[in-house]
Amino acid sequence: MVAATAPTYVATREALTALSPQDLTAARFLAGAAIIGLYLLITRQRLTLRRGDTPRMIAVALCGYAGYGMLLNLGQATVPAGMTSLLLNISPVFAFILGYFVLVERTTRLGYLGMVIAVGGVVTITLGGGGSATGFNGNALLIVGAALLLSIFLIVQQPLFARVPPIETAFWGCAIGGLTALPTARFDLDVSRLTASVWVALVVLVLVSTVLGYCLWNLTLSRTSVAEGGSLLLIVPIFSLLLGWLLLGEVPTIAALVGGGAALVGVVMLSRATSRRKQAGLGLLTGAIPVVGVLAGAVPIIGLPRELEDVAVVPLSPDLAAQVSEIAIEAADAVGAQLVTVSLWRPEFDDLVRVYSSRPHVYRLGGISSELHPNWVEQCVIGQRSFLADDEVDGLSDGVERHGVLTAPNLTATVNAVIVDDAGFLGSLNFLDASGVYTSASVEAADVFAARLAPVLRRLEV
């Protein structure tokens, strides 16, 4: 993935010596769609995109292919290849800002400081080039816009992998993105400019950076997480800088190097701070690419309202609250989740009371889950066996009430790990994420942390 991504910006710069940005965008993705489509045809893979996923796929194509590609090409008309890759690594900052308003995510002081440093680095890159051939001008802002679209693209795309194969997702993205960009293309190019180096750049851009790059990126995300795969992309600017220097003679300016280094340092600071924070929820990112809450559709960029529900007083001492929080955060890192809660069983009321929430701003402490499904009660409370639901239909029978706050994010897969001791059922450790994320191995991992919570919950009274 890294090897396929690194030449993108160098190949784009060379191709733009003969093609306009609009022509290159349409040609790149339509050619990529043709090659991936031929592969699907030869391997006899049926297309599985369903009507319900079509709007999301269109959004993916517009953001991650047509829009991203167009802004990238327009910006690279003057922005050097290596610095382009540095600017694109600002995407985690945009992801955090989106998550701040959409998912009510928060970070620590280190994270906010990292965000300021990263933005300062981008400003240094943008203003410090002096307009030289290898410096920057206003077109750098187009690259920043491409980084913003990249963040939105990853937010919208991730849920598709539960239903659409990664390579087919790349096919539809290239096809729809290329067709969308086609009306802007004129193809009135000067044939004499199509030198050997331009043809090589076009081949690399289509075969390596588009076909292999997007397919390998999608395969990586479908088999692991955005954090694990995306963290490798931090090293892409190093290769892009070297390739631009060696192949195009683009010697980076001091301002570009200083600003790029600051942007990378800031992103790493934000990544680490976000992954460590306590009550603020799960991390938006832990690498160069945002780890965002998977959204079911186009959610307005506004703060989610606090859920209206019955609430009980939770007399958590600071010591007990810290213990519950520490275990829950460790569990979230091990199992993976967009939302984690810990619920205490109240046998006198036959309900659950929330004593920990990774999103307390909207899914508050003390919230009561009273409408528990009989099958869930039979399995978890009476049978003391953990519950697994890997899709929305099964999830309606779990121990987490589906309030409005859970209908905007795609929180349809559930693990309820039962917390028990010798005296009986104490509560549950709950994980929610996108459909298809959890397996029986997830339940086994969750049970380990649920056992650690048992002596803590035994000390609580609600």
Please check whether residue 153 lies inside any domain of the structure: yes
> Under 8 Å CB-to-CB from 264, ≥6 apart: which residues?
86, 89, 118, 121, 234, 237
For residues 267 and 330, membership in a common domain is answered with: no
Q: Report how many domains make up the chain.
A: 2
For residues 149 and 250, membership in a common domain is answered with: yes
The amino acid occupying position 54 is: T
Please, what is the end-to-end C-alpha distance for the chain in angstroms? 51
Please check whether residue 313 lies inside any domain of the structure: no
Please check whether residue 288 lies inside any domain of the structure: no
397-450 residue pLDDT tens = 455 554 444 444 456 788 999 999 999 999 999 998 877 788 899 999 999 999
Domain end position, chosen among 218, 246, 276: 276
What would the mean pLDDT of 64-91 be, rounded to a whole number?
Answer: 79
Give 107's pLDDT tier (boundaries 50, 70, 90). Answer: low
For residues 53 and 200, membership in a common domain is answered with: yes
pTM: 0.56
Residues 14, 17: Cα–Cα separation, whole Å? 6
For residues 208 and 353, membership in a common domain is answered with: no
Bridge partner residues of 340 (DSSP): 431
For residues 167 and 30, membership in a common domain is answered with: yes
What residues make up the domain containing 447?
Answer: 318-457
Bigger pLDDT: 338 vs 322: 322
Bridge partner residues of 413 (DSSP): 433
Please check whether residue 296 lies inside any domain of the structure: no
For residues 67 and 134, membership in a common domain is answered with: yes
Mean pLDDT rounded to a whole number for the chain: 76
pLDDT computed for residue 156 by the predictor: 79
Residues 283, 177: Cα–Cα separation, whole Å? 30
Domain end position, chosen among 245, 276, 307: 276
210 in Cβ contact with 64 (< 8 Å): no
Please report, for residues 360, 392, 428, the alpha-carbon distance to residue 370 in angstroms, rounded to integers and kept in the order given.
19, 19, 14
For residues 130 and 61, membership in a common domain is answered with: yes
Asked if pLDDT for residue 339 goes beyond 60, the answer is yes
Domain end position, chosen among 243, 276, 309: 276
372-389 residue pLDDT tens = 888 899 999 999 999 998
For residues 270 and 407, membership in a common domain is answered with: no
449 in Cβ contact with 327 (< 8 Å): yes
pLDDT computed for residue 81 by the predictor: 66
Please check whether residue 310 lies inside any domain of the structure: no
Please check whether residue 312 lies inside any domain of the structure: no
pLDDT computed for residue 308 by the predictor: 55
Please check whether residue 43 lies inside any domain of the structure: yes
Give 123's pLDDT tier (boundaries 50, 70, 90). Answer: low
Give burial (CB, 10 Å; 0-12/13-18/19+) of 120.
Answer: middle
For residues 338 and 261, membership in a common domain is answered with: no
For residues 124 and 52, membership in a common domain is answered with: yes
Give 207's pLDDT tier (boundaries 50, 70, 90). Answer: very high
Candidates 277, 355, 263, 329; CA nearest to 100 is: 277
For residues 101 and 233, membership in a common domain is answered with: yes
> Under 8 Å CB-to-CB from 286, ≥6 apart: which residues?
227, 231, 271, 272, 274, 275
Candidates 73, 72, 48; CA nearest to 171 is: 48
Give 127's pLDDT tier (boundaries 50, 70, 90). Answer: low
The DSSP letter of residue 84 is: H
| Secondary structure element (H or E) that encloses residue 346, with its range | strand 339-346
CATH number of the domain to which 350 belongs: 3.30.450.40
Please check whether residue 302 lies inside any domain of the structure: no
For residues 56 and 127, membership in a common domain is answered with: yes
Q: Which position has the token pair 């790493």?
A: 268
Q: Which position has the token pair 């520490």?
A: 326
